[in-house]
Amino acid sequence: MGHRFVLDGPEELIAYECDACLLIKNAPEIVVLPKTTQEVSQVVSFCHTHKIPFTARGAGTGLSGGALPLKGGVLISLNRMDQILEIDTENHTATVEVGVVNAHLNQALEATGLFYAPDPSSQSACTLGGNIAENAGGIHCIKYGVTTDHILALEVVLPDGKITRLGGKTRSSHGLNLIGLLVGSEGTLGIITQATVQLTPKPTEIRAYLATFSTIESAGNAVSQIIASGLIPSALEFMDAFTVKAVNQAYDIGFPEDSEAVLLIELDGTLHVVLDQEDRLMAILSENNAQQTRSAQTAEDRQAIWAARKGAVAAYGRFQPAFYLHDTVIPRSELTSVLKKILAIGKKHQILIGNVFHAGDGNLHPNILFDPDDADMLQRILKGGEEILDVCLQAGGVLSGEHGIGIEKSKYMSRLFSEADLNKMKQIKAAFDPQQLSNPLKIFPIRAGCGETHLSISNPLLTTGGAWI
C-alpha cells in the first residue's frame, strides 16, 4: 500500500472525524486507503491478530455516524477502490468496486439503455459501498425498491481477514441468504469490497408532475389514494412550504409558494401505460383539491425538478448552517397526523423544521435546522428530535428507512425491539465477529457498565435523553 496511503497526522485525521451527521465526532488513530480487496484483507488480518478495532468508510455522506471509529483504531477508507469492473448488457448486471460513486455508475451506463435504480439524494457523492452498508433507497425506491433489491453478489472481507464471495449473476442461490443479511449491516459483519448489481432497462416514457395543495391533509390524502388505487408511480415525493421556499431561493426553480404542501410525482413505462396512469393520477389529484398541477414539458425540466428535490437539504443552508436529519418510516395513513405533530414540536421548541421526504413509502425526513455554536438551540433540537422519533414510533413506525442506526439511533433500539430480539441480533454479530472489532459500538444500545465509559467522543447524542453509556 505504501506510506503515502497511510495517514496519521492530526491535520489528516480531522477529515475523518465525522460523517454528514455533524453532531457526532470521533477521530481514528490511523487511516489506511487500500486499493484492492487483498490489501483490505491484509489490514483486517493485522487488526484481527492484534485485536485492533477497525471501521470501513466510503464518501462520508452517512447520516447516522455509522462510519465513525468510536473505539479509535484503524479507519479503512475505500474511496480508491473506484473501478467499474464489468458492465454486462446481456445479463443486465454490473460488477463494481465499492468506492464507485452512485451517479458515476449511471453515467457509465448512459449509452446502454440500462440504469441502476437506487438513487439516494446524495447520489452525486455517495458511494455504492455506503449504499449497501445502509441499504439506501432514494426517490425511485417506491417502484424499483431499495439497494438490497438490486444486489446479486458481494465480495466480503470477513472480520478475521478472510475473503469470501456470495451470490453470482443470477438470483438463484442455495442455503442461507447471507447477502440479505450483509446488506444494511452497516459494516458490523465485515467489509464489502465488490458487488454485482442488477441493472434495469430504461422506460421508454417518463413524465413528471407537480401538484400543490392548500393543506397538508389534502396532500396526505392524495398520497394514500394514489397508492390505494393501484397506481405505482416511479416517484412520489412531498415538500412542505418552508422547503419549497428554500429550494426556490437556492435554485430559482419556480415552485409555487402559495400552498402548504407540494407533491412531486413521476410516472414511467410505455407511452400507453403512462397515458392511462396520467388520467387516473389527475383524477385523484383533482378529487383531493389540488390547487394546481403542472407537468414537466421536457426531459431537461424533469431533471431540473429532481435536481432541486435532491438539493433541498443543501438549500436549508440559507437559513441555518447545520441540520439534524431524521429518517423514519410510518404507515402512509398516518402522514397527516404525524406531520402536524412534527410542526407542533417545532413550534414548541422554537426550531425550524423542513419536511421533504419519500411520501409514497412513508419514509419521513424531518430536517431540524440549527446553529452548532448556539448551545441552547442544540439542546432544543436534540429534545425535539427525540420527540419526533417518539411520535413516529407511536404511529406504528420504525427507526430508519435508509440512513441506518449507526450510533445516532442506537439508544432507541430498545424502544422498538425487545431484549430477546436484540440478543438474537447480537448473536449474529458475534458469529461473524466474535472479537467485536468490525465497526464496534454501532446499532446496539451501549449499556452502563459495559466498560466503554472511557470513550472521549464529541457527541451530544450520547449525553442527551438519559444515561445509557
Q: What is the pLDDT of residues 214-272, one digit of tens each?
A: 999 999 999 999 999 999 999 999 999 999 999 999 999 999 999 999 999 999 999 99
The answer to whether residue 8 scores a pLDDT higher than 70 is yes
Domain ranges of the chain: 205-313, 320-394
Determine the pLDDT at residue 171. Answer: 81
Residue 458's pLDDT band, with cuts at 50, 70 and 90, is: low
Length of the chain: 469
Average pLDDT over residues 15-26: 88
Q: What is the CATH number of domain 320-394?
A: 3.30.70.2740
CA-to-CA dists, residue 302 to 236, 240, 267, 466, angstroms? 14, 20, 11, 46
Give the class (CATH, top level) of 205-313: alpha beta
For residue range 97-115, list pLDDT tens digits in order: 999 999 999 999 999 999 9
Determine the pLDDT at residue 465. Answer: 35
Place of cell 439497494: 147
Residue 461's pLDDT band, with cuts at 50, 70 and 90, is: low
Evaluate whether 169 touches 153 at the Cβ level (below 8 Å). yes
Picking from 243, 257, 247, 221, the residue whose alpha carbon sits closest to that of residue 355 is 243
Sheet with 30-32: list strands edge to edge: 6-7, 30-32, 74-77, 54-57
Rounded Cα–Cα distance for residues 304 and 86 (Å): 30
Rounded Cα–Cα distance for residues 177 and 262 (Å): 40
What is the overall mean pLDDT for the chain?
A: 93
| pLDDT above 70 coverage of the chain, percent | 94
Domains 205-313 and 320-394 share a fold: yes
For residue range 136-163, list pLDDT tens digits in order: 999 999 999 999 999 999 999 999 999 9
Evaluate whether 61 touches 446 at the Cβ level (below 8 Å). no
Cell of residue 109, nine digits: 451506463
Residue 462's pLDDT band, with cuts at 50, 70 and 90, is: low
The answer to whether residue 389 scores a pLDDT higher than 70 is yes
Determine the pLDDT at residue 249. Answer: 95
Determine the pLDDT at residue 452. Answer: 41
Helix (H) or strand (E) holding 48: helix 37-50
SS3 381: helix
DSSP 8-state code for residue 25: B
For residue range 263-301, list pLDDT tens digits in order: 999 999 999 999 999 999 999 999 999 999 999 989 999
Rounded Cα–Cα distance for residues 63 and 134 (Å): 10
Evaluate whether 7 touches 33 at the Cβ level (below 8 Å). yes
Q: Which residues pair with 24 in a beta bridge?
A: none
The identity of residue 169, as a single letter, is K
Determine the pLDDT at residue 1. Answer: 66
Q: Residue 465: which residues within 8 A CB-CB, separation 6 or more? A: 382, 383, 386, 411
Cell of residue 353, nine digits: 423544521
Determine the pLDDT at residue 60. Answer: 95
Q: Residue 418: which residues within 8 A CB-CB, separation 6 or more? A: none
The answer to whether residue 453 scores a pLDDT higher than 60 is no
The identity of residue 465, as a single letter, is G
Cell of residue 20, nine digits: 454528514
Determine the pLDDT at residue 23. Answer: 83
Average pLDDT over residues 12-38: 93
Picking from 254, 246, 357, the residue whose alpha carbon sits closest to that of residue 297 is 254
